[in-house]
């Protein structure tokens, strides 16, 4: 049974999905004061909310059972993401559910500004009729400059064509093919975009790269009497610079739905700025959007808790791609790393320094998630934490000084993986495959070719290639009540050394391992107990 705390008035349609799951106990509460939430969070496996609740570092540390934080919306400004990652807590948002709502609000607000609708309404409601004072402007023929051609930027671009606008965008992270499909001209730089944008709209996250990206200099590069719209995140537009441009009549107007500090204080000078349409963060505030983001995040939180499906987590390093497709590969990678670590440890190498992952081209889309699995395989049983998982494995590995690398290799067969660990003069590579519709297998340990399914526990033995070893090993394991699932013996040349990969049910004790080492012709014996992923 997992306990889920829901706050901030998350839409009921999503909550019904959580409540319908027998393994989840859902406690729905209003937005709680900081101290009260801090006192309660230790009882919960997950928390789901919107923007009103701050998921601080202190809160995450107090949530000793927390596995998942769900944000019913796209922004994660209120979540201490780095701390969540270090603690192995998945952070899940709902990036797609409010896309249409924000795109529609952009056009509604921009048309309202250009046609002076808020002012006209104010005059009418005060008994006036001053038609001649409200001469407006049309969208047709204007150039729309979009910074950020992601989900929302793309929806805005698609709708702009219907208004007869010329659409130009700047986004160095989007491929040319996407620009072509959307019939959007690519601006080579932000300055180039600014030079021709009659209406500038921003659809990027708030990062170190985008904070203050539209300041005094950038505003001065816009054509005279342009319009600036920010419905992305407060802080992307320099508010004092925007205010100055409006007061100097440099801009025709602006729309702000987001602010550097929210809620906007009552005495903010922005409230008295000319031709500035202020909205109280309405971007996702539609019935449909709230329903969509609630459903999306609640389904993802449910699957993360019950099925360990972290595909929607934004802090799985490098992204997880299609989770169902990658899970077998991730399992093979994690277990290959654990085998390599155990064998090297028994050879006297305790400190792994370098971890190199190679994948076949058909797995290249999932290298981030697969490398996280490798890091977890190297660390499990080595570090003292019960929160080691795919969320924090890479960060924990790098904090210990491990050098992680990944490469795509056409030399590997279909859906194949190679994990190489090294430290000092020692190195060992373990390979495996995760074929579609078939059982994942380990296929090579060092120079020895094997074929074994790494289930529960794997024994790795090296021995002299002489008659009777397999029989003696099997007899000893039988006497110790250890059931053999698979036994694969490999050798490089007759009469030399051999390697056995023995998959067994249950655990193998240290006493049994030592007994194996006392058998004639057995050289080494490594035991790898696999954690369930």
Catalytic residue among 115, 178, 185, 281: 281
Answer yes or no: 262 catalytic.
yes
Dihedral (CA of 278, 280, 281, 283) sign: negative
> 485 and 528 in contact (C-beta within 8 Å)?
no
User: DSSP letter at 33?
Assistant: P
**Number of residues in the chain:** 533
C-alpha closest to that of 214 among 275, 148, 265:
148
Strands 68-71 vs 522-529: parallel, antiparallel or unpaired: unpaired
Identify the residue whose tokens are 């899970």: 327
Three-class DSSP category at 209: coil
Containing 14, the helix (H) or strand (E) segment is: helix 12-19
C-alpha closest to that of 526 among 338, 330, 333:
338
Preceding amide of 263 cis, omega within 30: yes
Backbone angles phi, psi at 62, to 5 degrees: -75, -25
> 88 and 388 in contact (C-beta within 8 Å)?
yes
User: DSSP letter at 30?
Assistant: P
Catalytic residue among 262, 322, 479, 507: 262
Longest CA pairwise span in the chain (Å): 106
> 506 and 480 in contact (C-beta within 8 Å)?
no
d(CA 62, CA 76): 19
Cα dist from 419 to 257, 377, 411, 428, 531, whole Å:
49, 10, 14, 8, 18
Answer yes or no: 281 catalytic.
yes
**Buried-exposed string 464-501: b where 16+ CB fall within 10 A, e elsewhere:** ebeeebeeebeebbeeeebeeebbbbbbeeeeebbbbb
d(CA 342, CA 357): 17
Catalytic residue among 137, 203, 233, 334: 233
Sheet order of strands, 185-186 included: 185-186, 166-170, 143-147, 199-202, 226-230, 251-256, 276-278
d(CA 57, CA 395): 17
Three-class DSSP category at 84: helix
What residues form DSSP beta bridges with 501?
460, 488
> 165 and 142 in contact (C-beta within 8 Å)?
yes
Answer yes or no: 233 catalytic.
yes
Query: Which residues are identified as catalytic?
Result: 233, 262, 281
């Amino acid at each position: 049974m997992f306990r889920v705390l829901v706050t901030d008035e998350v839409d009921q349609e999503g909550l019904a999905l959580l409540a319908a799951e027998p393994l989840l106990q859902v406690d729905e509460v209003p937005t709680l004061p900081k101290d009260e939430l801090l006192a309660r969070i230790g009882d919960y496996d997950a928390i789901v909310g919107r923007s009103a609740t701050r998921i601080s570092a202190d809160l995450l540390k107090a949530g000793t059972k927390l596995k998942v934080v769900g944000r019913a919306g796209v922004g994660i400004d209120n979540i201490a993401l780095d701390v969540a990652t270090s603690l192995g807590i998945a952070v899940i948002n709902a990036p797609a559910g409010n896309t249409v709502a924000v795109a529609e609000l952009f056009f509604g607000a921009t048309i309202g500004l250009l046609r002076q609708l808020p002012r006209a309404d104010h005059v009418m409601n005060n008994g006036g009729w001053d038609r001649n004072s409200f001469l407006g402007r049309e969208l047709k023929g204007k150039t729309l400059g979009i910074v950020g051609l992601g989900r929302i930027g793309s929806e805005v671009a698609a709708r702009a064509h219907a208004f007869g606008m010329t659409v130009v965008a700047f986004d160095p992270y989007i491929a040319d093919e996407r620009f072509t499909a959307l019939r959007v001209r690519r601006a080579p730089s932000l300055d180039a975009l600014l030079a021709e944008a009659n209406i500038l709209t921003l659809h990027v996250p708030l990062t170190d790269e985008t904070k203050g990206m539209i300041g005094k200099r950038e505003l001065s590069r816009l054509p005279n009497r342009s319009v600036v719209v920010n419905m992305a995140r407060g802080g992307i537009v320099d508010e004092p610079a925007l205010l100055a441009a409006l007061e100097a009549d440099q801009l025709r107007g602006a729309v702000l739905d987001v602010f550097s500090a929210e809620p906007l204080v009552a005495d903010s000078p922005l409230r008295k700025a000319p031709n500035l349409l202020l909205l109280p963060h309405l971007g996702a505030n539609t019935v449909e959007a709230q329903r969509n983001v609630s459903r999306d995040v609640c389904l993802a939180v449910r699957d993360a808790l019950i099925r360990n499906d972290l595909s929607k987590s934004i802090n799985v390093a490098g992204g997880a791609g299609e989770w169902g497709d990658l899970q077998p590969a991730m399992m093979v990678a994690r277990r290959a790393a654990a085998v390599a670590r155990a064998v090297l440890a028994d050879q006297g190498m305790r400190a792994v320094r370098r971890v190199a992952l190679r994948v076949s081209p058909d797995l290249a889309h999932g290298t981030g998630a697969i490398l996280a699995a490798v890091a977890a395989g190297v660390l499990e049983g080595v570090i003292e934490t019960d929160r080691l998982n795919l969320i924090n494995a890479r960060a924990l590995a790098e904090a210990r000084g491990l050098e992680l690398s990944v490469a795509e290799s056409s030399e590997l067969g279909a859906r194949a993986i190679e994990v190489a660990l090294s430290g000092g003069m020692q190195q060992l590579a373990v390979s495996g495959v995760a074929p579609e519709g078939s059982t994942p297998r380990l296929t090579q340990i060092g120079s020895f070719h094997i074929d074994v399914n790494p289930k529960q526990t794997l024994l790795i033995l090296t021995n002299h290639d002489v008659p009777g070893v397999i029989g003696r090993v099997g007899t000893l394991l039988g006497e110790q009540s250890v059931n053999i699932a698979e036994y694969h013996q490999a050798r490089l040349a007759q009469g030399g050394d051999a390697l056995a990969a023995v998959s067994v049910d249950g655990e193998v004790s240290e006493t049994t391992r030592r007994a194996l080492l006392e058998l004639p012709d057995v050289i080494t014996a490594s035991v790898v107990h696999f954690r369930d992923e």
